[in-house]
Amino acid sequence: MDESKKFRTVRGYQLVQKNNRNLTTAMEDYLEMIYRYTLEVGLLRTNTLSQLLNVHPSSTTKMVQKLSRFGYVDYEKYGIIILTEKGKNAGEFLYKRHNIIENFLQFIGGGENPLIETELIEHYISPKTLSNIELFNGFISENPDIVERFFQFRKMAQTSSNELK
């Protein structure tokens, strides 16, 4: 049977995907946050990064050292974290991916916490799907009449769904 057609547990899909990529989901989260923060503020130290990601400083240090070994950041103990060119490129992609998904979820009226949903989705979405969502976001932003029609349709669907309860 074709591997892409096999059902798996969520963990099974994670393991398959892990074998097909260089960065772990945690590494992606760190790189995205480093990129995001350095865009807004500039200099970043490990203690600030651990606060931003709500993780222990020791975990942050280990991850930054790992990112350094892989060539994504330059880092010296107790020093400043600086993205390498490779790190900037990866961080920019990860930041853009996050924003594409978050904008899409906000448009469709995602769940209670779009940030959590974005964080969970972004690690498992294919480049092709991401590209199509980006195209869709662009299409929607250029066609406000369709946005209004969608909102009306959603309102009617929610109303009829509530009537059935």
Final residue in a domain of this structure, among 56, 90, 124: 90
Q: Domain range for residue 62?
A: 3-90
Checking 151-157 for CB contacts under 8 A at 24+ apart, the result is 154/109
- Distance CA(30)–CA(36), nearest Å, equals 10
For 19-53, the pLDDT digits (tens) are 445 789 999 999 999 999 999 998 899 999 999 99
Checking 158-165 for CB contacts under 8 A at 24+ apart, the result is none
Are residues 124 and 72 part of one domain? no
- Distance CA(116)–CA(30), nearest Å, equals 16
Specify the pLDDT at position 141: 93
For 79-128, the pLDDT digits (tens) are 899 999 999 999 999 999 999 999 999 988 877 888 899 999 999 899 99
Are residues 129 and 57 part of one domain? no
- Residue count of the chain: 165
Residue 42 lies in a domain: yes
